[in-house]
């Protein structure tokens, strides 16, 4: 068995922080909040380049919109949350990582976030050392739902292709589940701000309410 984790919305409770950052930027620059709320859902689990494209496609016709200013406002909001210690681990995150390490399971982190963001989010909790390898969004050319990030993580863990069926990927986003399935791995969805859909139930090997439930489920494999 091998386990690969997504980070945002799985290890750290950051997706809602990102959403609040987007809404703050919408109010700051006079952009329609309904459109921002919809765009914020669409960017869950994607790379920064795809997020920029989605935001430009959504708001590019508004004269007051400047994608760089919007992203700067989001980064400043996010930095404030991290620096003030308000970014929290998801319930059960530390426990499942310790449990899997004690059982000798190889662990990978595959996050669409850039490496410096990963370090900021996880550095204060001392959990980075739990992972045998870390793959960030700036290490791949194609973001989720393309499977590239999971294939690279598997390669760095030394997992042969014939054992991809023994790789469990813990995800909260639709694109993450799609990417894991496309890689030939077994996706486990732990919903965060996006509810599971019929498609997710079809693609994931399990949809579980918490990381504690994931730990128990994996212990029975």
Helix 48-59, helix 67-83: angle, nearest 10:
130
Residue of 6, 146, 172, 192 marked catalytic = 6
Whole-number CA gyration radius for the chain? 17
Burial string for 34-56 (b: 16+ CB within 10 Å, else e) reads eebeebbebbbbbbbebbbebbe
| Alpha helices (H) in the chain, listed in sequence order | 15-29, 33-42, 48-59, 67-83, 93-102, 115-123, 148-157, 174-182, 198-203, 211-219
Active site residue 8: yes
Q: Which two tokens stand for residue 179?
A: 């990417």
Longest dimension (CA), the chain: 56
Q: Phi, psi at residue 11, to the nearest 5°?
A: -90, -45
Active site residue 6: yes
Distance, C-alpha 176 to centroid of its chain: 7
Please identify every residue annotated as catalytic. Answer: 6, 8
């Amino acid at each position: 068995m091998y386990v690969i984790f997504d980070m945002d919305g799985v290890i750290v409770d950051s997706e809602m922080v990102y959403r609040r950052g987007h809404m703050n930027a919408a109010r700051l620059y006079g952009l329609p909040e309904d459109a921002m709320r919809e765009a914020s859902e669409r960017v869950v689990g994607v790379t920064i380049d795809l997020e920029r494209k989605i935001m430009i496609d959504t708001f590019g016709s508004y004269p007051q919109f400047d994608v760089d200013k919007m992203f700067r406002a989001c980064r400043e909001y996010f930095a404030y949350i991290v620096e003030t210690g308000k970014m929290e681990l998801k319930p059960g995150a530390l426990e499942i990582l310790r449990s899997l390490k004690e059982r000798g399971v190889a662990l990978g982190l595959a996050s669409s976030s850039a490496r410096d963001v990963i370090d900021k989010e996880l550095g204060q909790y001392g959990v980075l050392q739990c992972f045998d390898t870390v793959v960030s969004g700036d290490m791949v050319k194609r973001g989720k739902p393309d499977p590239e990030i999971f294939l690279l993580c598997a390669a760095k863990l030394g997992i042969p292709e014939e054992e991809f069926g023994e790789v469990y990927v813990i995800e909260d986003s639709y694109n993450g589940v799609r990417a894991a399935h496309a890689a030939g791995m077994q996706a486990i969805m732990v919903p965060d701000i996006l509810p599971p859909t019929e498609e997710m139930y079809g693609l994931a090997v399990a949809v579980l309410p918490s990381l504690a439930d994931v730990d128990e489920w994996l212990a029975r494999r």
